[in-house]
Amino acid sequence: MKFTVNWLKEHLATDATATEIAEKLTAIGLEVESVDDRGATLAPFTVAHVLTAEQHPNADKLRLCTVDAGDGAPYQVVCGAPNARAGLKVVFARMGTTIPVNGMVLKPTAIRGVDSQGMMCSMREMGLGEDHDGIIELPQDAPVGAPFATILGLDDAVIDIAVTPNRQDCLGVAGIARDLAAAGLGTVKTPAIAKIPGTFPCPVSVTLTDEVKDGPCPIFTGRLIKGVKNGPSPAWLKNRLEAVGLRPISILVDITNLITYDRARPLHVFDAAKLSGGIHVRFGRDGETVEGLDGKTHDVDGATIIIADDAGALGLGGIVGGVPSSVSEATVDVFVESAHFDPNVIAATGRRTGVQSDARHRFERGVDPKSALDGLELATRLILDLCGGAPSEVVVAGAFPADFPDQTFRPFRVEKLTGLEVPESEMQRILEKLGFGVTSTTMPWTVTVPSWRRDIEGEADLVEEIARITGLDKLPVEPMPSTSVVPVPALSPAQKRNRLSRRLLATRGMVETVNYSFIPESHAAAFGWSDPALKVANPISVEMAVMRPHLVPSLAAAAVRNAARGNTDLALFEVSGTYHGIAPKDQKTIAGGLRTGYTAPRQWQGGRRPVDVFDAKADVFALLAELGAPITNLTVAAEAPAWAHPGQSGAVKLGPKTVLATFGALHPRVARLLDLEGPAVFFEVDLDAIPAAKARASKEKGPLVLSDFQAVSRDFAFLADDSVSAESLIRAVRGADKMLITDVSVFDLYRGQGVPEGKVSVAVAVRLEPKDKTLSEQDIEAVSAKIVAAVAKATGATLRG
Amino acid sequence: MSNLNGLEAEVLAAVDAARDLAALDEVRVSALGKKGRITDLMKTLGTMAPDERKAFGAAVNQVKDRIAEAIAARKTTLEDEALEARLATERVDVTLPIAHQPAGRIHPVTQVTEECIEIFGAMGFSLAEGPDIEDDEHNFTALNFPPGHPAREMHDTFFLPPNGAGEKVLLRTHTSPVQIRTMKGKTPPIRVIAPGRTYRCDSDQTHTPMFHQIEALVIDKDIHMGHLKATIEHFAAAFFEVEQVKIRFRPSFFPFTEPSAEVDIGCARSKDSIRIGQGDDWLEIMGCGMVHPNVIRNCGLDPDEWQGFAFGMGLDRIAMLKYGIPDLRAFFESDLRWLRHYGFAALDLPTLGGGLSR
């Protein structure tokens, strides 16, 4: 909402400067977005008198002028404007002045060999419009040397404020003045609006249908003014509208715009000659259209309030008028409309049609219904003053909606809620200045709500009014009572895991990413998505269409983007949500990672190889160990998700059903869909599936038990079928003597000469740690026999001869 | 005797001439070995007269000792030379580069989230969570956004298809629905923060369709706006790691708070950076207010008994301010170069005791 300081001062008696006004506006909740002090910008441009104007010796279209700027010897100025002539009063800029339209600083210059010591300016160069036909011609009585902006009434600051949706009353200058006066910045002096008696009955009848009268448009007022002379507005009105960014159109239209901005009261004017019969306010009918003044034709439906005449729809009530019934320069009889429309109905139609208008902006926030008649009278006054004519009597259809209910108010709530100590008399003063009525000051107070404060619903709103006018800079600064001397943890054990998993993966050289939760539909489908409930109805692009079922597609897309920039050896991770339904429980927290390319750059020591499935498995087990998963109880199954390489992926399970993690290489088909080239391995750990550590009474780690007897290591090579899993073999070895065997490691795999086709030689090292005596050769042989037997039983593998 | 002197000179010359340990040992054996020349001389002592034996014996022993000494000295020298020679062959070029050390990074959003948790944790807040996919009830209605109100339009909402009951399903536009979930699930007093992902269908230089907020909610009997102001002041000073931060409360409007305010922090802008804390400029960092009585009521609590404050702040935004990150969109592009530059080391754990940042 833009307005000028001089405009404000028609409503507020104040000596405050633009800066002081701006500061106060922000302090009371009318946030200033910008202050454009044109008086200051235009101050260096002063009135000058053209003494002589002769032909430039070297250029046909240029003139060589001498200009008296009132500060000593005349300036010599070269000017190309066709209207530059002796005797003219002009706007003069000296060297060093900044030209508003382009920010250029004037420098001494020679034009076609003749020095020019200044510039005579056009409106466009002043940033005051598009007029570039010639230099500005000031009135002959303009005093030489005076700032020209003062003479043209342009020395005004334009203030732009952001009005929150609850404060439609401040979408008019009068409302802003009221707030400022309550905050002590001056006294309200908004001119009173006098009723203007009609001289004849209004020939235009107005009817409201019952369903409209009951709420959507409870009151519609209007009158005819006949014999008007429309045309361009006078300079003051044009200047005012242009200052706030509106385009002057004609007096009649400009008056409605003026009142919209002056009183937050939208109006509409019809050319009465173009109306057939009376005005009807009703819901639209399917098939009807309105050719709007916004340049678009709008379909009408049964939820749209339209203003119609006997022949059909004229305009969208409270939003935009129609072209066929609009006023023009030729309009002689004008019908002025001032009505009230329900905010929700206007908001719905506004959303549906997409029309952005000053009327919609106000009505959907809730115009003061009581301003309907005042607005009509004010418009009448201005039309009679600027266009002449004779007014009819006022026609009123419907009735004002009921007043807002009185509120009860307990003054102690102000301090209770805000900490501000405000005397009760001051509270009453503030409320009354804002237009509230304090009808009883016995506890609790009874407060009446003005018709323009639709936002006031209860006591807390009144507390806010008192707080914001008193000033939030006066709030006390009071630390909250502390809940404990030493802080207690803010995180639950599950929340700690999220944090730990990020740090752990980063220590493993992985880089954390944060990717959008929505991915392309084709990617989601490749990763098993099918539930239409997870498809965004209004995505911002097709790349962001479906809530992701996995993190891997996001990470893969990130890897593809990085590859395009020449980074192909990546280790990326993300710890975040995946979505499997719309219920809160369907969001799972996953730690996901993707490694691509090679493990290292080419380096002189070697050690570079393509990433493989065991890199991903290592990440999984590092993470599970760090997060306290019961590692020894976990099994790894070659159960691949469909989007993974069937022979190079697996699942880490706890028991037969609970899958804690998956890992592996991407399926080549999926990689191709994602445009991912080269080796790529992934993992996903379901952080919520890891069982919580048992709550323990103490942090004791338990005693350390060390054996005094020497540990020994023995190697075995087994000949196993290819189909035997390493895990089953290791498990069998371990199970042979759970007390004695503390570690089993696979140190060689061999296929080839000496090993039959379809078999593999698996070499394992077994560490034996006796607890009660030193092992003898016989002891070792006994346990070795048990190991060989256990392996044979579980896997069919035999000791390799 | 002169014979003895000649022998000594001869052997000592041979010791000096020995080029390696083997040659030296040969010299030793030929002089001092069982059949060595000195040993042979000692053997002749038995045939001598006692006086002569005594004098000659002493002389031979002295020669023997001097030779043994010389051999030992020569041996040390030769050993040292051998070691030097070996070490010389073992030389490597220590200026060769080390093997690649992968360096992980933590995303700035994670880092500032943990910084916030650290600070608010010390103030007695605990972490609350809520889902990204919300319903209209939690995201709007319970938060006192009347249906059809223009304030709903201030949130450009992403919708999913309606649920089975025909209710709107959406991506939460703010973290405030966690207020509702917390108040409904817990009896006051309440002191929680809720960081998380939020979504609005908006995309330009300064907006991304997904961003991060942190919500705070305090519900108790006597918590007022003065407590809110102190909490924000202390947070801002701790977070930006400056002694004091200028704070300005501006009245504003949010459907779920009353009174409502926006909070600006003081700053000084120079050509390409912003210094937070002091200065003549203001920078908006959050919206806040006293929880609206309707919201408290919607959660089954009595607003005459329970009251408190709430605020919401953009985590990406405060990360940008603190660490001078220019472009919000880059947060979600996962560009390795950006992550390496603006990310944090794995062990950059923000703590109050050890300092939030390096």
Please indicate, yes or no, whether residues A270 and A254 belong to a single structural domain of this protein: yes
> Quick one: pLDDT band at residue B151, thresholds 50, 70, 90?
low
Q: For the residues B278-286, what does the mean pLDDT come to? A: 89
The overall average pLDDT reported for chain A is: 92
Residues above pLDDT 70, as percent of chain B: 98
Question: Residue A115's pLDDT is what?
Answer: 86
| pLDDT above 80: residue B152 | no
Contacts of A465 (CB under 8 A, 6+ apart): A430, A431, A434, A436, A456
Please tell me if residue B223 touches chain A, with a CB cutoff of 8 Å: yes
Residue A740: CATH number of its domain: 3.30.70.380
Distance between start and end Cα atoms, chain B? 83
Please indicate, yes or no, whether residues A367 and A428 belong to a single structural domain of this protein: no
For residue A200, tell me if it sits in a domain. no
pLDDT tens for each residue of A531-587? 999 999 999 999 999 999 999 999 999 999 999 999 999 999 999 999 999 999 999
Please tell me if residue B207 touches chain A, with a CB cutoff of 8 Å: no
Please indicate, yes or no, whether residues A731 and A755 belong to a single structural domain of this protein: yes
Question: Residue A399's pLDDT is what?
Answer: 93
CATH class of segment(s) B108-342: alpha beta
Please tell me if residue A607 touches chain B, with a CB cutoff of 8 Å: yes
For residue A193, tell me if it sits in a domain. no
pLDDT tens for each residue of A250-295? 999 999 999 999 999 999 999 999 999 999 999 999 889 999 999 9
Query: Which of A349, A369, A398 is the last residue in one of the domains?
Result: A398
Please indicate, yes or no, whether residues A657 and A736 belong to a single structural domain of this protein: no
Classify residue A535 by burial, with Cβ atoms within 10 Å: 0-12, 13-18, 19+: middle
pLDDT tens for each residue of A308-350? 999 999 999 999 999 999 999 999 999 999 999 999 999 889 9
A774: helix, coil or strand? Answer: coil
Backbone angles phi, psi at A635, to 5 degrees: -120, 155
Contact B104 A510 (CB under 8 A): yes
For residue A703, tell me if it sits in a domain. no
Backbone angles phi, psi at B174, to 5 degrees: -160, 170
Please tell me if residue A542 touches chain B, with a CB cutoff of 8 Å: no
> Per the structure, how many domains does chain A have?
6
Residue A97: CATH number of its domain: 2.40.50.140
Contacts of A116 (CB under 8 A, 6+ apart): A76, A77, A78, A108, A109, A110
A403, HSE (Cβ side, Cα atoms, 13 Å): 9
Please tell me if residue A561 touches chain B, with a CB cutoff of 8 Å: yes
Classify residue A106 by burial, with Cβ atoms within 10 Å: 0-12, 13-18, 19+: middle
Tell me which of B92, B100, B172, B333 to substitute to probe the interface with A (most A C-beta atoms closer than 10 Å).
Answer: B100
Residue A452: CATH number of its domain: 3.30.56.10
Strand positions, DSSP E, A569-699:
570-579, 587-596, 634-637, 644-654, 658-666, 680-686
Please tell me if residue A365 touches chain B, with a CB cutoff of 8 Å: yes
For residue A246, tell me if it sits in a domain. yes
Please indicate, yes or no, whether residues A610 and A529 belong to a single structural domain of this protein: yes
CB-CB neighbors (< 8 A) of A484 in chain B: 124
Q: Per mean pLDDT, which of A126-130, A681-685, A778-782, B184-188 is the most reliable?
A: A681-685
Q: Nearest CA to A222 among A389, A373, A330, A113?
A: A373
Question: Residue A558's pLDDT is what?
Answer: 97
Please tell me if residue B241 touches chain A, with a CB cutoff of 8 Å: no
Per the CB < 8 A criterion, the answer to whether A278 and A206 are in contact is yes
CB-CB neighbors (< 8 A) of B332 in chain A: 514-516
- Listed by start position, the domains of chain B span 2-89, 108-342
Q: How many helices (H) and strands (E) does chain A have?
A: 21, 41
Question: Residue A379's pLDDT is what?
Answer: 96
Contact B307 A584 (CB under 8 A): no
Query: Would you state the structure tokens that stand for residue A367, as one six-digit string?
Result: 């115009």
pLDDT tens for each residue of A379-412? 999 999 999 999 999 999 999 999 999 999 999 9
Minimum mean pLDDT range among A112-121, A127-136, A603-612, B30-39: A127-136
DSSP A600: S
- Concatenating the DSSP letter of every residue in A606-634 gives ----B--HHHHHHHHHHHHHHTT--GGGE
For residue A122, tell me if it sits in a domain. yes
Tell me which of B156, B178, B225 to substitute to probe the interface with A (most A C-beta atoms closer than 10 Å).
Answer: B225
> Quick one: pLDDT band at residue A59, thresholds 50, 70, 90?
confident
Query: Which of A629, A658, A689 is the last residue in one of the domains?
Result: A689
Contact B148 A565 (CB under 8 A): no
Please tell me if residue B249 touches chain A, with a CB cutoff of 8 Å: yes
Please indicate, yes or no, whether residues A383 and A245 belong to a single structural domain of this protein: yes
Contact A478 B230 (CB under 8 A): yes
Per the CB < 8 A criterion, the answer to whether B292 and B257 are in contact is yes
Nearest-CA residue of chain B relative to A348?
A: B148
> Quick one: pLDDT band at residue B1, thresholds 50, 70, 90?
low
> Quick one: pLDDT band at residue B2, thresholds 50, 70, 90?
low
Contact B249 A537 (CB under 8 A): no
Q: For the residues B228-247, what does the mean pLDDT come to? A: 93
Minimum mean pLDDT range among A585-589, B100-104, B122-126: B100-104
> Quick one: pLDDT band at residue B154, thresholds 50, 70, 90?
low
Question: Residue B150's pLDDT is what?
Answer: 61
Please tell me if residue B168 touches chain A, with a CB cutoff of 8 Å: no
Residue A351: CATH number of its domain: 3.50.40.10
Q: For the residues B289-314, what does the mean pLDDT come to? A: 96
Contact A516 B332 (CB under 8 A): yes
Please indicate, yes or no, whether residues A293 and A355 belong to a single structural domain of this protein: yes
> Quick one: pLDDT band at residue A130, thresholds 50, 70, 90?
low
Nearest by CB to residue A490, choosing from B121, B154, B293, is B121
For residue A793, tell me if it sits in a domain. yes
- What is the number of residues in chain A? 801
Residue A92's domain comprises 44-151
Question: Residue A162's pLDDT is what?
Answer: 95
The overall average pLDDT reported for chain B is: 92
For residue A699, tell me if it sits in a domain. no
Question: Residue B270's pLDDT is what?
Answer: 82
A1, HSE (Cβ side, Cα atoms, 13 Å): 32
Q: For the residues A18-41, what does the mean pLDDT come to? A: 91
What interhelical angle do B225-240 and B108-122 show, nearest 10? 130
Question: Residue B273's pLDDT is what?
Answer: 78
Please indicate, yes or no, whether residues A521 and A664 belong to a single structural domain of this protein: yes
Q: Nearest CA to A569 among B32, B134, B301, B103?
A: B103
How many angstroms from the chain centroid is the CA of residue A160? 20
